[in-house]
Structures are given as C-alpha cells and as structure tokens.
Structure 1
Amino acid sequence: MKARARMIRPRPLEEARRYARMGRPRRIVISFTTDPYPPAEERWRLTRRVLQILAGAPQHTIMILTKNPRLALRDLDVMHLHGGMWLGATVIALDGARALEPRAPSPWSRLEALREAHEEGVRTWLSVEPIIPPISKPLEIVREAVDYVDFFVFGKLNYARQLGLPEPDPRELWDALRPALSFLSRRGKKFLVKRELIRAVASLRRGRPRDSRRT
C-alpha cells in the first residue's frame, strides 16, 4: 500500500481563537517556521487579524518574530492593546547577509524598525541566529541594538548535515558568541542561548556557557 501524504491547510484565525480561549498563560511565538509578515500581508492583513484576536487574551505573552518588522510597525496599535506583545526580528549579520537572504529586508532596516517600535513603547527582541562564523559577528550586532532591544536570543544553524552543509566549528562558535554575552551581561540585558548552541560548544573545557537564561 502506498503511503499518502496528507496536506494540512493552516487556519491561523481558528488557531488564534483556540489559544485565546486557553486560561493557562502561555508564550505564543508568531512564528519560527514561517514569517508572519510576507509582502502579501500588506494587502491581506491576516497576521493583523490574528493579533487582534490574541489582543483579547492578556494572559498570554505574544512574541512576534519576522524579517520584515518594517511592515509590522503598521500593527503597533494592536500590540499596544494587548500590553504583552513583543516585536522581534532575526539578524544573521550586519554585513554580508545579502548572499544568505537575497530577498529579505536589510539587517539595518530591521534594526531601525525595532528602534522605532521601542520608541513607541513596544518591547522588542532580537534573534541572532543562526550564528555562522565568520559571517556572523554577534558582538557587532548587540552593540548596535543594545539601546533599543530588550531581549536577545542566540542560536546555531540546525540540520546542517541534512542540508549538506558543514557543521560550524565549536571553537569558532564560542569565540563569536562569548564577547557578545559578556557585553550584554555588563549592560544588564536579558538573553537566552538556545540548547542546540550550548551543546555545540559544550565540549570546550573553558568558557563554557550554561544552559540557562540571564535575568
């Protein structure tokens, strides 16, 4: 018998209503697997409708993650209604990222959008991942963003082998990451190092990061 692939049609509005009805507080990320602000969102406003539904669920923390935060600025009014919505962006590198993300807005425009959101009173976060030495320079990124980003996340390239790519060298990863963490610690900023990145550098004897978040 041949296996049949089952196509699942996403229903984001239904999912948003389901989460809004949940009483137990959750952290809802929109989203890691897709970008909630593609160019079509400017016309269809589907993500905006999702946020409007979740705005009625103050028990949840809503973490928006996009490579197009400039378009997300249109929805700041909805984010203010909730009070617990964070606007975040992904940045791999400040320079040289165009080859990796040819169709995405520039890293500088993403950071400028986060600055504007922060000035409007919306909490902001930045996902510095995947860290790809020597293209990625996390210290440069956090120095640029530290005054207007409230929370930082660091991660590595996952599924490198499945994609036919070499695994980053653990020493290169740690040498890139450590100065950024030290800088954020001195500035009293919150950050999270993802478990996959921690495991990648766990074999190093000195300077090993801990599997915890700084608060």
Structure 2
Amino acid sequence: MRPADPPVAPAFAPDPLRPDPLRLLSAQADLQYHAAPSRGIFNPPAATGMGFWSINPYVGCAFGCAYCYARDTHRWTLERAGEVGREVANAMPPWLAFERRVLVKEHAGARIREALRSSRSPRPGDSVVIGSATDPYQPAERRFRVTREILESLLSARDFTIVIITKSPLVTRDVDVLQRLAERHTVQVHVSLITVDRELARRLEPRAPTPDARLRGVRRLADAGLAVSVNCMPVLPGITDAPAMLEALVQQVAAAGARSLGACALRLRSASRKRYLPVIRENFPELSAKYEATYRHSVYAAENYRAGLQQVIERLCRKYGLTTREYRRDDEGSADEEVALPAPLAPELQLVLL
C-alpha cells in the first residue's frame, strides 16, 4: 500500500514575525493597509522574466494611476492568501482593491538579511529593482518605513546595481542611506514622470505627487550626487505624446539635473484596461473608440508607433544633453504573460510625432 502523501503546506505558513496574515494595520476614509502575507522579499529573475531581481515593499499603490500595469499583482497575492485574502478581495473589484487595499510587507529588513545569508539572493554584479510593481515611496512609506528598512539592510551586501523607481519626492528623505549605498553598490533613482502639465497629471494620477514636486525631488537627488534618471512611462497615445509636450518634459527633466530618460508607450493589460478605459471615456471621450480599436488585439501599441516614439525621444534627449534608455517590448512584459502580436495602430490614433 502506497504511503499517504505528506500534507500540503499552506500558501502562507504560520510566521512568528507575522502571525496574522492580512491583519488590518490602519484604515482611512477609503484606504486600508493590511499586513502582507509574504515569506520572502527577493523576486528572482526567473519570476520577473526581465533579467533582474525585484523587491516590492508594498502590494498595491495608493497613488491610483489610471494606467498602472501592475494591478494584477494584487489579485495574485490575495488569491494565495487563502480565505482571509478572499474576504479582502471580495470587498471590491481587484483593479480597485489595488489602490484601496495596500498590503505592507512587515519585517522586510529581517527578510532581506535572512536571504542575503542564503542562496536565495542576488550575487555581486546582479541588478535589483525596488518598485517594479508598486511605488516604494507611496504614502504608506511615511508611516511604515518599509523601503528605508530594505535600503538599510542592503548595506550589508556589495556590488549590486540597485534601481529605485518612484513618483514620490519622499525618496529624498533617504538621501543619507542612498549615499551610503552608493559607496557599496551602483545606485540609480528613476523618477516616473509622464507629463509636466499639472492638471493633466491630476486626471491621470489623482493621488500622485505633482510634476513640480517630482522635479524638485530630481534636483535634490542630483544635488546630493546621486545618479537620477526619469521614466517617461507610459507615453499615452493622443494624450501625452504631442511633440511640444514631450519636449517640455525633456527640457525640464534636464534642467532639474537628471542624467538620462527612458520612455515607452502604453501597454494595457486586462486589469489596467478596467481602470484606464473608463478614465478615457470620462475625460477624453473623443479618444475612447480609438483606444478600443488600437488595443483590442494586443496589450501593446503597434510597432511603428513605438519605433517612432523612440526616435523622437532620442532626438530630444540629444538636444538637451540626456542619455536615453531604449525599451524593447519584452522588457515591458512579465514571464507569465501571454503577449499577442501587435495590431496596427488605428489610423485616427496615428500621432503627430510620426
């Protein structure tokens, strides 16, 4: 008789550091913070599918950017959290829970230090991206300070390339730690900025810091001797891609002291579509049908659009003395995402820059 199979471990085993997964930490009018049920903190390249390790101090993001590509990550985490996760998930649609139910990875510093003593961590020469699927300096960071704890823990390692991606000038709070990290690692801060138009940004990124605040953050980081880049991501067809608008952004980014700029066009996954397309219908009704047609068969804009956009960005960066970072389609995806071939861009949405 075959012996019985061993019991299957729960997705999240009891943890003395975090005994009650998804317990409520804090609540505001329409926003709750819960403890995140996570065993580890480093996501290896095999999981990211993009050749780097990633660390996400939070799951979800209160900035509520309409176009955010990471909304599916929240659903995946809740599904793995069992019954408690389902209770949180059932309170609202997953795409909305992403910005209203933020999960906090407590004791992240201990997790980092534990991983660095094992084989489950980056090696010298590896790249580590902090904030690939959340903003590490969203409002939660003021209270929970998870990102700072992570940075301090990385001081015990050497020779990583550490990239921090954020929209928030709160990153300047940690200049002291970043400067110390830069003595042991290659450190880059990538500030995300899709427009310098304050009112337009408010419609698309309702709770994110203003463009001016982000540019001031770029200046403070540059003045502190840190390598700062700007991510103009995503460029939104018909909304933020006018040549004059792109030039104004590149000009101000250069004036603020950034060293480089990278740009890529909007990609629209299913969870992002549920949040983004209603914003288009409400704020840009003349573009609604064009977006539906353009992104009907693919999460990506057409190849000719992306190539033309890259040419314009390269020309503007040369003009204002910035280096550029080119993004291939595969760089924007994830390992477990099935990607359709790009459909032709709807004729009405061909941009004036092409």
TM-score (norm 2): 0.49
Paired residues in the alignment total 199
Q: Which amino acid is the alignment partner of residue 101 of structure 1?
A: E
Q: Is it true that 1:74 corresponds to 2:173 in the alignment?
A: yes
Distance in 1 of aligned mates of 2:320 and 2:209:
28
Percent identical: 26
Name the residue aligned to 1:40: 140
Describe how 1:26-65 pairs up with structure 2 within 5 A.
26-65=126-165
Distance in 1 of aligned mates of 2:220 and 2:136:
19
Runs of 4+ in 1 over 6 A off after TM superposition: 197-203
Q: Structure 2: which 5+ residue stretches go unaligned?
A: 1-77, 83-102, 278-290, 296-300, 332-340, 346-354
Name the residue aligned to 1:16: 112
Q: Structure 1 residue 183: deviation in Å?
A: 2.3
Q: Structure 1 residue 173: deviation in Å?
A: 5.3
Q: Deviations over 1:30-71 (max 9, x none)?
A: 112001012121122111110011123231011111111x21
The verdict on how the C-alpha distance between 1:202 and 1:63 changes in structure 2, with shifts beyond 3 A counting, is farther
Distance in 2 of aligned mates of 1:44 and 1:121:
27
Describe how 1:162-201 pairs up with structure 2 within 5 A.
163=273, 165=277, 166=291, 167=295, 168=301, 176-196=309-329
The CA RMSD measured in Å over matched residues stands at 3.1
Bigger radius of gyration, 1 or 2? 2
Q: Structure 1 residue 77: deviation in Å?
A: 0.3
Whether the aligned pair in 2 keeps the contact of 1:55 and 1:79 (CA below 8 Å) is no
- Structure ranking higher in helix proportion: 2
Name the residue aligned to 1:157: 266
Q: Structure 1 residue 169: deviation in Å?
A: 6.3
Q: Deviations over 1:88-138 (max 9, x none)?
A: 211111111110101111112101111111011111011101101332233
Name the residue aligned to 1:144: 252
Q: Which amino acid is the alignment partner of residue 71 of structure 1?
A: L
Name the residue aligned to 1:86: 188
Distance in 2 of aligned mates of 1:160 and 1:61:
29
Name the residue aligned to 1:100: 204
Whether the aligned pair in 1 keeps the contact of 2:218 and 2:228 (CA below 8 Å) is yes
Describe how 1:115-130 pairs up with structure 2 within 5 A.
115-130=219-234
Distance in 2 of aligned mates of 1:160 and 1:63:
24
Q: Structure 1 residue 150: deviation in Å?
A: 1.4
TM-score (norm 1): 0.78
Question: Aligned to 2:248, what secondary structure does the other structure show?
Answer: helix
Distance in 1 of aligned mates of 2:224 and 2:239:
32
The verdict on how the C-alpha distance between 1:14 and 1:138 changes in structure 2, with shifts beyond 3 A counting, is farther
Comparing 89-98 and 4-13, the one that deviates more: 4-13
Q: Which amino acid is the alignment partner of residue 81 of structure 2?
A: M
Distance in 2 of aligned mates of 1:62 and 1:36:
13
Whether the aligned pair in 1 keeps the contact of 2:254 and 2:321 (CA below 8 Å) is no
Q: Which amino acid is the alignment partner of residue 43 of structure 1?
A: R
